[in-house]
């Protein structure tokens, strides 16, 4: 199994912390976020790891990863970065990780054990984490709803109530070659502008609506975090 880390963006909401380096090199508890991800992936037995670069790509060469480069990183969203690694995703099962998160190897093992074509991990206890990050969790949290069989029914919409959020999508996925083909074919139906601007959850919503494959959500109960702003670095993820 392979893995791809999406690290093209600057992370402008981190302000001066990303003036001289990409967001994935911001330190958490004394270690760059990227190194947290590499440690978790390798701890789960994945050594074939690629990275999609963009902003300040030269600072990532030292990690010795296979690199795909999104030259339009400043004008596109994360799905466009993932498309730069199309050849890898066609070849074998592949874990895809955002670069502004941290998680434990157990999250990767859960994805490795999933036999479905498209799987995502989620945190059912999301509210505790979101209350550390936001005065009002609904200001940022998106819809995440499951059907009676446990399959993903909705993701990425504007939540109007806590009841519409049964978990928090973490930015960690796994595609089989078949799952990737369905995902990419759905993306190709979009106009050029739509392709550039669509977010990952927007694409997952389109996959659900198309109904060609199901998205398998996997409960993850381990430690993890997401970093969108400087305040997130002060949330005390390692205080207990």
Where are the chain's structural domains? 2-234
Topology annotation, domain 2-234: Spore Coat Polysaccharide Biosynthesis Protein SpsA; Chain A (3.90.550)
Q: What phi and psi values does residue 67 have, to the nearest 5 degrees?
A: -115, 135
Residue 135 has a pLDDT of 76
CA distance 204 to 195: 13
Block residue for tokens 């074939």: 48
pLDDT in tens, 24-62: 999 988 899 999 999 999 999 999 999 999 999 999 999
pLDDT surpassing 90 at residue 16? no
pLDDT surpassing 80 at residue 112? yes
pLDDT surpassing 90 at residue 17? no
Whole-model pTM? 0.94
Pull the structure tokens for residue 94: 């592949």
Q: CA angle, 172 as apex, 169 and 174 as ends, to 5°?
A: 120
């Amino acid at each position: 199994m392979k893995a791809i880390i999406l690290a093209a963006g600057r992370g402008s909401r981190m302000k001066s912390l990303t003036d001289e380096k990409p967001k994935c090199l911001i330190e958490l508890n004394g270690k760059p976020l990227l190194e947290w991800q590499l440690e978790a992936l390798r701890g789960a037995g994945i050594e074939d790891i690629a990275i999609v670069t963009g902003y300040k790509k030269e600072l990532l060469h030292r990690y010795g990863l296979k690199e795909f480069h999104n030259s339009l990183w400043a004008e596109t969203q994360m799905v466009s970065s993932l498309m730069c690694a199309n050849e890898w995703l066609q070849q074998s099962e592949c874990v895809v990780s955002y670069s502004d998160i941290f998680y434990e190897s157990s999250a990767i093992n859960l994805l490795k054990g999933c036999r479905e074509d498209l799987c995502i991990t989620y945190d059912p206890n999301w509210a505790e984490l979101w209350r550390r990050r936001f005065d009002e969790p609904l200001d940022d949290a998106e819809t995440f709803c499951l059907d009676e069989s446990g399959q993903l029914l909705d993701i990425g919409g504007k939540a109007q109530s806590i009841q519409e959020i049964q978990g928090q999508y973490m930015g960690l996925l796994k595609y089989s070659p078949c799952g990737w083909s369905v995902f990419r074919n759905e993306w190709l139906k979009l106009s050029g502008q739509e392709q550039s601007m669509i977010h990952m959850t927007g694409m997952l919503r389109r996959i659900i609506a198309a109904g060609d494959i199901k998205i398998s959500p996997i409960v993850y109960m381990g430690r993890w975090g997401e970093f969108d702003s400087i305040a997130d670095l002060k949330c005390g993820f390692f205080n207990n």
